[in-house]
Each structure stands twice: as structure tokens, then as C-alpha cells.
Structure 1
Amino acid sequence: MISLPRIFALSLIAGVHTGFAAPTEDASSAGPDLLRFANDDTLHGNFFSFGPSETMIWKTPEAAEPIRFSTSKLHRIVLNRGRAHKTVTHKSSVKLANGDVIPGTIISVDEKTVVLDTDHIGRVELPRQAVARISPSPFGGKLLYYGPLNNDGWKTVPTYQLDPNQKSDKKDDDENAPTDWKQVGTAWYAGTDKNRYLLKDDAMPDKCRVAFKLAWRGSLYAKIALHADFSPPKYENKSNSQLDMGATVGNAYILSLSSHNATLYACTFDEDGKPQNTRLQGSQSSLGLSGEESVDIELRMDRTKKNILLFANGSFKAKWNLGNEYAGKGNKLAFLNLRYSNSEIRVSDIVISRWNGLKDSATSMQTPDRDVILLNNGVDRFSGKFKSIRDGKVLFHGSFDNELSIPLDEVGEIHLATDKVKSKGETSPKAVYFFIHPYGRITGIPTQGEGGKTKLLTNSIGDVTLDTRFINIIDFSHKNSLLDVWDDNF
């Protein structure tokens, strides 16, 4: 954290008027905001608004008056500990050619325009040629969980259980003890304790899709427990070895991830209750993440049909042969950082939804000259020409000269032909990324605002008025990632 004299040395401009309103009606109930400068100094306080001439207004208890900073000196603002002051209510969204994702209710689409009703920018008309994807149901099925927005439903458990005759020298072997797994903003951080799983109860139905963003500092070595019951049977000769994964997770599958490979283990028990960890044979289990620092992981699982599929960064990686019996007997999801060489991991953007049965990768939906429509049932998909949306119906001209009219609520995603999608030039160096809570992003150049509203000049959709109460992160870095800096000191 920087000292007050350093603040003034950076960019304090005297005489800032105090007419700007903070982006929340009740500041007393809000958490502190975090400001990170381009040189990685940090400052707690409260974001007020953007001012004229590429400035931002900030209030800190150490200063009698609000401070105006040049936005060229800023890296990131995290609002209300990453939770924003309001959450968008829409589950449908539109993705633009520049990577922006606009959550909102899809009103209509014609040859030139996509019309959305949104919480954060009101009703907006998007140029169709700037739209890459329309997602009436963007989570691939009924959404069960998105987060972490708070720590509700999460706890930690030790990675193994000691022989009852052996005394432990650890002080935190009960599941309610303090742990270095910390929920900050909208992410879980694994700290120095490598002997605890981060666990969510009642997370995984029989048929589900689990997606999350995993980032690391150092080397990636992590385990994910899937369909675990965390109820191992009693075993008189139970080892205290951490290698006996089943001694902790019970009947489950364990996905072991490194930068190089993904390996799946079945955790079962023999008649005496002895843990058995079986490495399963799979295909295409190489991840190839050397030199990377983050990955988007997606698992599609069906207990009844004995299917587990792994995708990384939108590409299919593995499908394992699970045999005649599905090892996972529970519904718990858990994460463990093995912490080799003191590595750290961060888990964010966790999405759990009903799996619609789709086995295709995200990249297979993109074609240069045809639009692709995917239904919510996960089985039916069509290619051809997407024509319009009106009166709750999707009109589509199929590849075999057939006309289709499909109810909008039965459509999962519409991917527009890549050759028809055009971005309006490069992003201005003055543009800022505004991340929408709990998902979404809009890019633009902010101008002076007040009362929680900011006028935003966007390259793709023109000028809009942004309600910053729905924003949890404002990023000036242009790195298009929330995982490039580890903001540990909230």
C-alpha cells in the first residue's frame, strides 16, 4: 500500500469539486474498493466517478477532499471487493467481435441490428456485423451455480484422515478450522496449506457441466474431486499417506492436472475398506500448457451413461473409459493445490449447469461461411443462414433449402459465420474494460459521470450510459484477463 505523500506525488490535483456521487445508494453497506496503479502500488478507498480530461475521482479516508487521478497512471479498480453493488439479472447474452459480452434479454434480430434490454446500459441496438455469438442459454443447460460470489456452501477438509491411534501434531485437522483457502472478490485463492480440499456440497447432479478458470503462479499441480461423497469406509489399517486419495474423498473421481497432462483416477475401496486409486486409460490427455499461466477447464459428466469429457480452452482433450461401474457415488466438488515448489493457484468463474449432452467442442461451432445454431437439447444443431429473431421465434434457413422457425427458449447458442463478423478497427489505447457482475464485459472510453452513471464511448455500439453499480472490475491494462495480477491485499 502506498503512503499519503506518495499519493500526492503521483497525480493529485487540488481543488477537485465534490459533486460526484459514489456508485451505490448506501455507501455504509459497501465494502472498500481497491485501486491498483500502473506501478503496482495499491490504495483502498471508494471510486466516485470518471472526470474530465481522462481522470478518475477517488475518495480515501486519509484525504479531506476527493482526489483526481490521471487514468494513464491506473491499472485496475476492484469495486466492493469484486462483488459490485448490483448484479445483472439476465442469463442470455451477446458476444461481440472485440470479445465484449453483453448480458441482456434478446428482443429482436434482423439483417442489420440486434436489440437487447440490459440492466447496465438500458435498451441497446448492436450492429449485427459486430456480433459473433447470440446466446439465449449461454451456460449449456440450466444454470445451477455461478461464482464464487460469496463463500456460502463452501468449506475445507483435510486431505487425509490419520489412524485413530496416532496423535496429530496439526492444530487444524477438523473441517471447520481456519485455512489458507481464501475467497477474495469472485475467486478462490489457495495459500500455503497444501493439506486441504476446498469443497462444495450438493454441487454435482448426475448429468452436469462444470467449468472454471484456473490460474497459477509457479507450476500447475492441482487435483479436482468429482462426484465425491467424502465418506470413506472405516479401515483398521488406514494409512496416513496423502497418496491414498480415497481415504479423504471417498468414492469419487480425481482429476490430476499439471501443465503437461490431465490424468483421471477412480477412487474405490475393497471389501475391507482399503482405498484403491486406479489410473484410468484415456485419449488425448496432453494439455500442453507449458509457458501458460491460466486455462479454462470444462468437464461434461453423465453418471448414468458413464461419461466424463475434458475440454481445455474450448478444445476437446480427453474422454476416459470408465468401465462397468461409475466410481463417483456422491455430489460434491472439491479443489486441492498440491503446491509443489510453493506454487499457488486461483479458481474463478465456476459454472455448474445441467449438461445438455453436447459432446462437440466450442471451436467446432465456428465456420467461415455458415451460421450454426445449437439447441438446448444438446443433440440438434443446424448450419445455414440465421435470418432473424422476432416474437420469440428464431428464423433460420437451413443448408438444404429448408426454413426453420424455432422457439427462442429452445435455442442454446447461435454462432455467426466468422467471415461475416467485423470489428470496427483496433481498440483505442484510451479504452477501458468494464467487467459486469457476475459475467460480461463492455469496452469503451469513459467520460465525466455522476450518480453512479458513466458516459461511455464504445467502438462497437456507439455512445452509451453505463450504470457502474453493475461493474465489479474496471481494467485499464488492455490485457483482457483478470488473472494477470494477483491482488492479494484486499
Structure 2
Amino acid sequence: MRHSRPPSKTGPRIQGFPRLIVLAVAWAFSPTLGPVALAVEPVAGPPASLVLHLTDGGFVAGKFHETDRPGILRWQGNAFTSPFDFDIKSIDAMQAPVPAQLATPEGVFRFALSGGDVVFGTLIKLDENEAELDLPRVGRIRLQRPHLLRLERWQGRSDLVYLGPTGLAGWTPSPSPAGAPKAWREESGELITDQDGASIVSDVPLPARAIIEFELSWKSQPDFVLTLGEADNQKIDEKKNENPFRFEIWDQELVVQRETANEADVASLGKLAAGPGRVHLRVYFDDERGRLVVDSADGKPLAELNVAASTPHTLAGFQLLNKKGDLRLERLEISRWNGELLREPLPDGPNLRRTNGSNVAAKGIRFDAEAKSFVVSEGDNELRIPLDETARLAFSPLTDIPARSVHILLQDGSRLSGDLTGVEKDAVVVKLPGAEEPVRLPIDQLRSLIVSRAQDAPAAKPELTPRLEMEGVRLTGRLLAGKNEPGAPGLTWQPNGSATASALADKASGRILYKEPTPPAPKTTMIRSGNQIQVFNANGGRIQVAPRPAPPQGVLQGFIMAFAGAPPAPQAAASPAGAGASTGKASGRRALYLRTGDIIPAEVTMIDEKGVTIRTSHSKDVFVPHDKIKAVELSEEPVVPVRLNKAKRERLLTLPRVQKGSPPTHLVRSKNGDYLRGRVVAMDEKALQVEVRLEVKTLPRERVARIIWLQAEDLETGKAAPQQEPAADEEWLVQAVRKDGVRLTYAPERLEGDTLIGTSRVIGECRVRLDEIDQLLIGAAIEKEAAQLTFQRWLLTDAPEPKITEDEGEGSAGGGASGLSSPLVGKPAPDFSLEQLGGKTFRLAEAKGKVVVLDFWATWCGPCLQAMPQVEKVTGEFRDQGVLLVAVNLQESPKEISAMLERHKLNLTVALDKDGAVAEKYKANAIPQTVVIDREGNVTRLFVGGGSRLGDQLREAIQTTLDGPDAKVPASGGADPKAPAK
């Protein structure tokens, strides 16, 4: 391998690129506060409207507001009542959404202006001093002639291959890991990434000879590779025997290089200073000759490579790899090249190219508008060239290019830059370098407005709190005193960089963050083994072992014993809240939890049928109605953390059919971790009274850890009923979340120093110091976050109704064929104990030595009522041989059952499965279901469904069970026990 010539280091340095920073902000915050785990729903990014981006990373959606103050951009945020006056130095950019249909550039010519500006339109006037252009969407502009660098025929142009980008359409980004943000995103049609290693390709055909013009910008030190002529994401950064032409960063230097099997060449395009910047290049590409010429946007030569390919190949594509940092593709234009450089004007005069390919050079040139022709002069001689015969007119490049404070991109691809002098009702006003008068650019034609930065400008400071976060808003700043009015929160915000403040608009919703969320605690796992509780960290290391008392027998009896018996076990390490966790970390304090998400340190002094009376340091004794409460913590001692398995948690929160008319209203937790479901009747300083199954139990208060309220209205939606939507004339609310996890909702009234004062509907006047809170929730955001708190996820759900098996009609097999298909057959029958109709108790374990037939049924099940007489008749035939029939009713009241039995003249032993727990053990998802259990307590047959043959099948099954395990089992036939149920 050889170099055809030493790497060129003579190219001019690329200095002073204007800064372009427009990065979408990801909202990700999930703090953990106090005794509950908080999973905050991410707030959506900027909506599809004009969005102003600030240098500190903040943004605010809204619109321009009129002003005539140079250097000030007045901005009316959608979520605010009055505009902000932002210093232009605090702004990065304004971005507008890309319309569904992009505007097409119109005009006879495309004009290249100084500073890389490009516009489309018609030439009105041209002489050695001045040029006047008519731009269809802007109007007429008059420029000093040196600022017009080139005009090219646009009307009827056939050499254009690609002009964009216009969003991600036609581009293929590299895939992102599962759950990660997309590698590339679009903003105002431009392509942006801040992911290391993210690549993107377009398979647009690349002509063998092409002019390629592109603009890239970045926020931090750039490190990218731009490759011409191979659209393959997998090959973009691989070492190959032959590379296409590539632009890349070598030790903070932008170079262009190519390497083949025979030779290689590289040229420097300039050193890139650290920090934000941008580059705008025009590339002349001749693949047949292996030639690449690189110019600046103003036509200044930067580099030339001549490295021919070793073998012929087809070119397609444009590749961009962001190796590190961030990158933005602003512009890409590809057109066919006729082989002539656009920087060919004579040093002392213009150069005109006709449509027939001939060139005319002259000392001077002017435009005759009436004759529609160019007049080329050379001494006393003049030559007239008709406008429609003119392909291109180029002038010597401008050597002294004035700095510009803003760069503006219009929807049709026009680019203009200058100084922002003001904003009118429907236009921004910009003073272009060399223009006689300021130019009005229609706001509805803007795609972006970029604020320039000097290359040596200090990097933007990282975001600090406090920070206001709302839909379309992320603004660092400070809260000021505001006036509370009906329907408005009375909060005023002044962003950093703005000389003015504004009150939040009606029905504002969001939060003010005063402390960045802490990383989530390491996950732990709790395992109970015998009388031990073992806690393990995420790596499997054991954290703590605590003794655990042996559980007593029976749910209710065990709970009563937990209250009246031994003291609670020593505390183990708290498990994080989440699915299956009780309430997460033990609080170790008395507190009141409201449905609004409030967490108020308080001592419960009394509970009665109307509500709860509390005593808190924030106020005197306060009464709170039941419908506002979600939970109370009664103990100052940390309770034993208990991780409920999924089945037990679902059992606690499932409402049986029999209880729909009178659902439980509370879950009571003992200090030992046991739960009791019922209705709290009353509580005083000594005892708690709970109604359980129509019987009132009295429990020692000292053994109660917490009480959770179960609201029946939550059953309709499966989520907590809304609490925070105010009426139109109600005061707006905020919720202060203190560093210790305390949450307090109240109507803000005034700000005194750093104390926000208002009135709570629960405890009256509130005074909250802003330096003592982590965040201040505003409006509807209170309810959204409250729904994520652990206690709010304790919601009753209706038990699923058992399905009724398909009645297959007269002569059907029914009964589940041989009854041998169930996985329960051959295994010990799940033990249970159920109350019988009449008050006695049936215990399966006490029926050993008998053959037991369980018939799962309900009064509303037609096939059950058809099958039941057959089951009663057949089992009656074997009564003197020790066969016992138990009809297990699913979740119905004794009154309903008794009425049905009397109506159908049935005399059965009925066991009451009030919560469906026994049916779940026997997988009775469809009824009727008939189970045969032998004398040793093992399931021998299980039939699903009824039908005319059920009696014969059941008779044979009982006989076989009585004869013992050596009895002959019949061949399978008839209905399938897993037949679809309706």
C-alpha cells in the first residue's frame, strides 16, 4: 500500500462555525419517597407546535409574541398567561413541526448568498452595486451586490437527485436495544441522534458524477463518519480492502480520505475546536476518475483527492455514523455534476454559463429587466444574453463575511441568516448582512430558527433545579408570588434567561422539581423457609435472616391469634414496593394516607361509621370522611415486611360473587404481617372492631399495624376513582412532596419568601417551605402520580364468573368422556374446609375412608341444574357403600341456594365456597364439574359438563373407585373434559 501523495495539511482551519443545538429532551423521573414506591409516568416531550429550546436544555411550546426590542425574543408559552422576554443569548433554537406536505421551492433561480444562505425566486434588478430579488413567500429584498455569490436556474431543473432531509422517510436507522429510545429522531425534518454508535443510511442513487452539499452540526466534541456510495448499516465502520470516500474525525481534525487495495490518500479540512459547532461543505464527486473536490459553502477550495477504485462498482447511498456524542444532519442535496467546478469565475469579474454549455467571462454584468436579458460588458463592448438562455451566473466569493446571530430555515428549504430585530404579528424581522431593509419572514413558513454561538463561547451549564415540568414545558427557574384566582393555580414562574415571569394558565398540570430523583434502591428478594425470613440482594448475597413464628391454622383464626398472641417478629430488611409487595418499605411512623396521594404524619384517635379523627402536628384534631381515606399507619414501630405472593394478593383483593351486594371495605394488617378482610366498625385507643362474615370481632389496637380502605366505586374501572378534577369555580390544588415522604395537597394562596402558604381541605392552613420539598405537583398531575403509589394499587376486583359448559343435547356423551384427562386425576385431592348450608362444617380430610363426590355448581347454571338430579340419583345408589355427595356451591348466598333446592325438591349436602377458593384449587373454571375422590383422598375421575350420559359415566367411575386401583379402566370416549365452554 502506498500514498499517492503526502496527506495534505494545507486546508484552512474550520473556525467559528455557528452553534446549532436542538436536542429533544427525554422526560425520565421515578423518585422513591417515604414508605411508598413511586413510579412516575414519564411526561410526553414537546407537542406538535412551535417549540423554543434554551441553552440549558429546557424548552417551552408556544408561539412568537410581538416585540421591537433587538436581542430579545418574546415568547408566549402555551401553558402560561403572559409572555416571557428571553435574551437571545439564552436561546438555542425555535423548531416548528414538519407539515404533512412540504412546500416546493418556487422561482426561476436559486440564489446563493453570503454566509451559506440560499433562497429561491426571480431576479428583479442587478448591477455592480445592488441586486434585488423577488422571493415568492417572503417578498422583495435588496442586497449589496457582493453578497450575491451565485444564481442557478431552478425552473425546469432536471439534475436534482435529492433535496432534504424531510424527516426519517427514506432513511434506515440502526436498530435500538429493546426498551431504549430510538437511535435517530426527526425534528423539523432534520435528523438527530445523541446515541453513541448510532448510524443511519439512505439508499438514494448516487450519480457517477455528483455535487453533494451537506450541513452537520453538534453540541459537544464531534466524532462521526460520513460515507459516500454504500448504503449498508452493517458495513459502515468495518475495515475493508477498499473504502469509499469518507469524511471522519481524526484527533479532533476533520479529514476526507479514501483507501483502496493499491493506494490511499487523506486531506485535512481543518481542526475542530471543542464544544458546539457545525460544518457546511460542497463536494464534487467523480467516481469514474476517483476524484473528490471539497469546497466551503462560499466556494473556497479546501481539499482534493484522486484515488480511483480498483474495480467497477455501483454507487448508492449516503451513510452517517455518530461514533460518540451527538450529531444533527441539517441538509443534504445531491445533484448531477457536469464536471465543471462552480468556483470558476475570474478573479476580477463574473462568469456566466449559457444553457448550451458555453461560458462568458466579463469585467461587468447587469440585468435588463424590460428586455429580460443579461448585459455583459468588456470595455466598450456589450453582449446581451436572454434570461431563458442563462444556466448559471457566478461572482467572486466574498472575503469578509459578517457574523450573524440567527440562522433561519424555511419550509421550502430556503436559508437566511442575520440579526433578529423584532417580531411582528405574523412574521419575524431579520436584518440580513448587505440588505437595505430588514426582511419579514412569515412565521407560518418557518421550519427552524437557530441562534449562533461563537466557537469560544462557554458550554451551556447543566440543568439545575428548581425545574418546572409540564406537557410541552421543561424550564429551569424559580417560583414567584402569584395571585390565586378561580380555576388557576396562582403560581408564577420565571425561567432562567427571561427578564419576565408568567403565571401558569388555567387548569395547569405538572410539577416543579426541587431535587433530582435518587437512583432506585437495589432489588432484594425475600424467601420464607420454615421459621426463617431470608433477604437476598440482586447478586444473590444474603442480607439478613429473621426468625418467623410458625403460622397458625386458618385465616381468620390465625389473624386473631396474631393480634392477641406473641409480639411481632424482629424486623427484616424492608423489601421494595412493587407487584406482590405489601406496602414496600416499613414506615415506622403513624400516618394518614388519602386517596389524593397525601401522606400526613398523624395519630388516629378514633374511627366511627362516618370517618376517622386524627391528631397531627400540622393542626388540631381533624375529622376525615371515609371516602377520602386510602390507608392509615397506626404503629410507630417498623412493621415486619411481608412479600405477598401473587395468588394471596389476588385473593385478598378479589370480591366473590356472593359479596357483591355488601363488599368488604377494609384490609386490616397485623404487626406480624397477617391480613384480615372485612368492614371496620369502630376504633378507639384500646380496640378495633371489625365485621367479618356478619360477625363483629374485637381486636387489640396495639397489634394493628395498618388499615387499608377498599372503595367499592373502584370496581367499575379497575382503578382508583378520580378525586382531583375540580369544578370550574374551584381553587386549583398543588401537592408538596417533602424530603421525608410527607405529601400534602392544598390550594396555594401566597408565597412569602420561600414558604408557599395555602389551605388544605383536610387540615386547614398549610405553610410549606420550598427548600424542604423534593417536588411540587400541580393540578391533574396529583391524581396521575397518586395512582402509582403503592396503597392506591390496593383495589378490589370482581371474581371471574365460572363458565357454563356447552350442553350437547339429547344423546350427547357429556360428562368429560372417561374423566381421566384432568391433570388432577391420580393426585391427592386438594384439602379444604367449608361451611355447609345449615351451619355445620365439611372438612375433606375428615372424610377419608369414604368415596367423596364433589359437584361444583351454581343456581344460575342451567346445565348444572340438569346434571344435579343425575348426580344425586347415582350417588344415592352407593350410599350404603360409603359414598358421600357434597354439592359445592360457587359464591352464592344461602337464601338463593335454599330457594333453588326447595323448588327442585333436592335434598343435598351443600358446601358454601363463598370466595371461589376451593373451585380454584380444583380448576373449576367451567361448571358443572364432578370430581370423584377415593378412600385414600386421591382424585380418580373428573368430569366437566353434563349431558345424558353423565349418569352412566359417573356410576361406572364410582364402581371402579370402590373396586380399588386394580379395577379395569374403560377406554376413553364421549365428550372431552376440555371441550370449549361458553
Classify the TM-score, shorter chain. Answer: 0.5 to 0.7
Partner deviation per Cα, 1:59-112 (whole Å, 9 max, x = no partner): 33432x242425556524413147799746236344556775543222343455
- Kindly provide the amino acid, as one letter, of the partner of residue 238 in structure 2: L
Alignment of 1:51-200 (within 5 A): 51-53=67-69, 56-63=73-80, 65-71=81-87, 74-81=90-97, 87=103, 89-90=105-106, 92-95=109-112, 101-110=118-127, 113-122=130-139, 124-129=140-145, 131-137=147-153, 142-157=159-174, 179-194=182-197, 197-200=199-202
Counterpart selection for 2:328 from 346, 349, 371? 346
- Is this contact kept in 1: 2:421–2:431, CA < 8 A? yes
Q: What is the rounded CA distance, in whole Å, between the counterparts of 2:374 and 2:284 in structure 1?
A: 27
Q: Is the 8 A contact 1:214 1:347 kept in 2?
A: yes
The verdict on how the C-alpha distance between 1:261 and 1:377 changes in structure 2, with shifts beyond 3 A counting, is farther
Cα separation, 1, equivalents of 2:366 and 2:164: 35
In 1, Cα distance between the equivalents of 2:59 and 2:374? 49
Aligned to 2:248: 257
Q: 1:86 to 1:224 in 2, by over 3 A?
A: closer
- 1:187 CA drift (Å): 3.1
C-alpha deviation, 1:200, in angstroms: 0.7
Q: Distance in 2 between matches of 1:442 and 1:155?
A: 31
Contact 2:227 2:236 in 1 (8 A): no
Task: Write the letter of the residue equivalent to 1:148.
Answer: P
State which of 420, 439, 451 in structure 1 corresponds to 2:414: 439
SS at match of 1:296: strand
Residues of 1 paired with 2:398 and 2:188: CA distance?
Answer: 34
Residue 453 of structure 1 is aligned with which of 420, 427, 450?
A: 427
Task: Determine if contact 2:203/2:231 at 8 Å carries over to the other structure.
Answer: no
| Residues 40 and 85 (structure 1), Cα distance of their counterparts in 2 relative to 1, 3 Å cut | farther
Aligned: 1:214 with 2:216: yes
* Aligned-partner SS, 2:414: coil
* Structure 2 residue aligned with 1:274: none
State the TM-score, normalizing by the size of structure 2: 0.36
Check whether the contact 2:211–2:337 (CA below 8 A) recurs between aligned residues: yes
| 2:338 match | 356
d(CA) in 1 for partners of 2:362 and 2:98? 39
Partner of 1:275: none
Map of 1:365-380 to 2, 5 A cutoff?
Answer: 365=345, 367=347, 369-374=348-353, 380=359
Mapped to 1, the partners of 2:310 and 2:263 lie a distance apart of 13
CA 1:315–1:487: 2 relative to 1, 3 Å: farther
Rounded Cα–Cα distance in structure 1 between residues aligned with 2:169 and 2:67: 37
Partner residue of 2:206 out of 204, 210, 220? 204
- Residue 150 of structure 1 aligns with an amino acid whose one-letter code is G
Counterpart for residue 164 of structure 1: none
Within the candidate set 354, 377, 385, 1:397 is matched to 377
Counterpart-to-counterpart distance in 2, 1:433 and 1:457: 11
Secondary structure of 1:200's match?
A: strand
AA of the residue aligned to 2:442: D
Gaps of 5+ in 1: 3-29, 159-169, 233-239, 267-277
CA distance, structure 2, for counterparts of residue 373 and residue 393 of structure 1: 12
Cα contact 1:51–1:447 (8 A) shared by 2: yes
- CA gap 1:193/1:42 in 2 versus in 1, 3 angstroms: closer
Q: Give yes or no for the alignment of 1:336 onto 2:321.
A: yes
Change (3 A) 1:73 1:316: closer
Does residue 1:34 correspond to 2:19, yes or no? no
Aligned residue for 1:286, secondary structure, equals strand
* RMSD over equivalenced CA pairs, Å: 4.6
Structure 2: stretches of 5+ with no match in the other structure: 1-23, 26-46, 464-471, 474-982
CA distance in 1, matches of 2:112, 2:228: 30
Q: Given the superposition, is the C-alpha separation of residues 310 and 94 from structure 1 closer, same or farther in structure 2, using an over 3 Å criterion?
A: closer
Q: Which amino acid aligns with 1:183?
A: E
Cα separation, partners in 2 of 1:443 and 1:408, compared to 1, 3 Å:
farther
Aligned to 1:46: 62
Change in 2 beyond 3 A, CA 1:153/1:260: closer
Amino acid across the alignment from 1:354: R
* Closer, same or farther: CA 49–90 of 1 in aligned 2, 3 Å: farther
- Cα distance in 1 between the residues matched to 2:91 and 2:181: 32
Q: In structure 1, give the amino acid aligned to 2:264.
A: Q
Structure 2 equivalent of residue 385 of structure 1: 364
Cα deviation 1:401-438 (Å, max 9, x = unaligned) = 5625254553223215859xx99xx88x9x76544342
What is the DSSP-based 3-state SS (H/G/I as helix, E as strand, rest coil) of the residue aligned with 1:78?
strand
Cα shift at 1:126: 1.4
- Structure 1 CA distance for aligned equivalents of residues 333 and 462 of structure 2: 22
CA offset digits 1:138-179 (Å, max 9, x no partner):
899832222212111100357xxxxxxxxxxx967xxxx975
Whole-Å separation in 2 of the counterparts to 1:312 and 1:416: 14
1:44 and 1:57 map into 2 onto residues whose CA distance is: 12
Deviations 1:162-202 (A, max 9, x none): xxxxxxxx967xxxx975133333432343342x5411123
The letter for the 2-side match of 1:107 is I
Q: 2:409–2:448: 8 Å Cα contact kept in structure 1?
A: yes
Once the two structures are superposed, residues 289-348 of structure 1 have per-residue CA deviations (whole angstroms, 9 ceiling, x without a partner) of 24374333333223445543344564241222315643x4132221223x2xx3433332
What CA distance in whole angstroms lies between the structure 2 residues aligned with 1:298 and 1:445? 27
% identity of equivalent residues: 14
Are 1:36 and 1:77, in contact at CA under 8 Å, matched by a contact in 2? yes
Contact 2:56 2:462 in 1 (8 A): no
Q: Name the CA distance, whole Å, in 1 between partners of 2:314 and 2:328.
A: 27
Deviations 1:343-372 (CA, angstroms, capped at 9, x unpaired): 433332111111121246x4x6473x4223
- Which residue identity lines up with residue 318 of structure 1 in the other structure? E
TM-score by length of 1: 0.66
Question: Where do 1:213-232 residues align within 5 Å?
Answer: 213-216=215-218, 220-228=222-230, 230=232
Mapped to 2, the partners of 1:212 and 1:487 lie a distance apart of 30
CA contact (8 A) 2:202 2:231 kept: no
> Letter of the aligned partner of 2:267 in structure 1?
S
1:264 deviates by: 0.8
Maintained 8 Å contact 2:144/2:435: no
198-207 vs 401-410, which moves further: 401-410
Corresponding residue pairs, total = 405
The alignment partner of 2:66 has SS state of strand
Partner SS, residue 444 of structure 2: helix
- 1:322 corresponds in structure 2 to 308
Q: Offset of 1:441 from its aligned partner? A: 0.7
Q: Quick one: distance in 2 between partners of 1:70 and 1:457?
A: 19
Q: Distance in 2 between matches of 1:87 and 1:372?
A: 31
Structure (1 or 2) with the larger CA radius of gyration: 2
